[in-house]
């Protein structure tokens, strides 16, 4: 079983990278990708806990924004972590997330919700990528809401008056950076409309011209109709379909391996990286 999209405490997941690896083994996974938002900081810990029987795919879920302001998440897998340009992009986005959080907090304070940056930071592991789920956790700690789900539903969703995006490069730019770093690019949950506006089916052609290798189709946030639409795109352009859990520990309902990627699809994907980078012990 292959799960190509999971989060650890290096971003907004709640399991330490080592625990994620242990749970992958306990759940019978044979391959797991660790794809924290805009960072590679969980990779070393994940490698440390790796044992025979599990292959580790190192990656990151990279934030993008289209020229129309639509948020897109791009999974970069099997890229060279030494690549300076890609590291710089990730660092820049992590920095932008800090200023953006300060502005969200300021809006909440103006509306009478008492919350501080220090309280949000207290919810985050050292060196992790800051995100709205950490703000949700701080609001839970202050008993403003009961769960991350409730926090997003009531206050943090993309159409909320408190919502502020963070600047990120376009999907085409990010695909270019991932490919230049020798990795593969798979667009994550492209039609998941719970998160706000999504890209149109027509826009896949441009991303594929830029080098997009695959589309994450099997994901809990896609309806059967959306999966059919995406399978048509994959067939038409001869790219790769993946499936994954987008597991966040107990930060989300998503269960490890609830959706998986076919072995043949993963093989085809791996063959597109410029070196064999799957970690195996």
Distance of closest approach, residue 133 Cβ to ligand AMP, in angstroms: 5
16 or 233: whose CB is closer to Zn ion? 16
**Interaction between residue 166 and Fe ion (CB under 5 A):** no
222 near Fe ion (CB under 5 A): no
Q: Say whether residue 37 binds ligand AMP (CB under 6 A).
A: yes
Question: In angstroms, what is the minimal distance from the CB of 192 to ligand AMP?
Answer: 9
Choosing from 179, 219, 222, 252, the residue that interacts with ligand AMP (CB under 6 A) is 252
- 73 lines the binding site for Fe ion (CB under 5 A): yes
Quote the CA–CA distance of 74 and 256 in Å, as a whole number. 20
User: Of the candidates 208, 212, 215, 209, which has an alpha carbon nearest to the alpha carbon of residue 190?
Assistant: 215
Helix (H) or strand (E) segment spanning residue 232: helix 224-237
What is the contact mask toward Fe ion in residues 240 to 269, using x (rule: CB under 5 A)? ------x-----------------------
259 is a site residue for ligand AMP (CB under 6 A):
no
Interface with Fe ion by CB under 5 A: which residues? 61, 73, 188, 246
Interface with ligand AMP by CB under 6 A: which residues? 12, 37, 131-133, 148-149, 152, 248, 251-252
Interface with Zn ion by CB under 5 A: which residues? 12
């Amino acid at each position: 079983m292959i799960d190509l999209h999971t989060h650890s405490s290096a971003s907004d997941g709640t399991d330490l990278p080592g625990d994620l690896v242990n749970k992958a083994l306990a759940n019978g996974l044979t391959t797991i990708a660790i794809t924290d938002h805009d960072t590679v900081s969980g990779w070393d810990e994940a490698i440390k806990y790796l044992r025979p029987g599990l292959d580790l795919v190192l990656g990151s879920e990279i934030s993008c924004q289209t020229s129309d302001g639509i948020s897109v998440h791009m999974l970069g897998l099997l890229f060279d972590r030494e690549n300076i340009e890609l590291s710089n992009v990730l660092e820049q986005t992590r920095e932008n997330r800090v200023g953006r959080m300060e502005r969200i907090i300021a809006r909440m304070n103006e509306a009478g919700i008492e919350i501080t940056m220090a309280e949000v930071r207290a919810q985050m592991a050292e060196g992790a990528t800051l995100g709205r789920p950490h703000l949700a956790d701080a609001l839970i700690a202050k008993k403003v809401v009961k769960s991350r789900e409730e926090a997003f539903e009531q206050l943090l969703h993309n159409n909320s008056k408190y919502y502020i995006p963070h600047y990120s490069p376009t999907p085409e730019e990010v695909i270019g950076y991932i490919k230049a770093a020798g990795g593969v690019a798979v667009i994550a949950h492209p039609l998941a409309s719970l998160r706000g506006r999504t890209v149109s089916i027509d826009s896949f052609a441009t991303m594929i011209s830029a080098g997009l290798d695959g589309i994450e189709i099997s994901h809990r946030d896609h309806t059967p109709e959306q999966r059919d639409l995406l399978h048509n795109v994959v067939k038409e352009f001869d790219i790769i379909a993946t499936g994954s859990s987008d597991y966040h520990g107990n930060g989300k309902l998503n269960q490890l391996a609830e959706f998986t990627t076919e072995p043949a699809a993963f093989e085809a994907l791996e063959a597109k990286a410029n070196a064999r980078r799957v970690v195996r012990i």
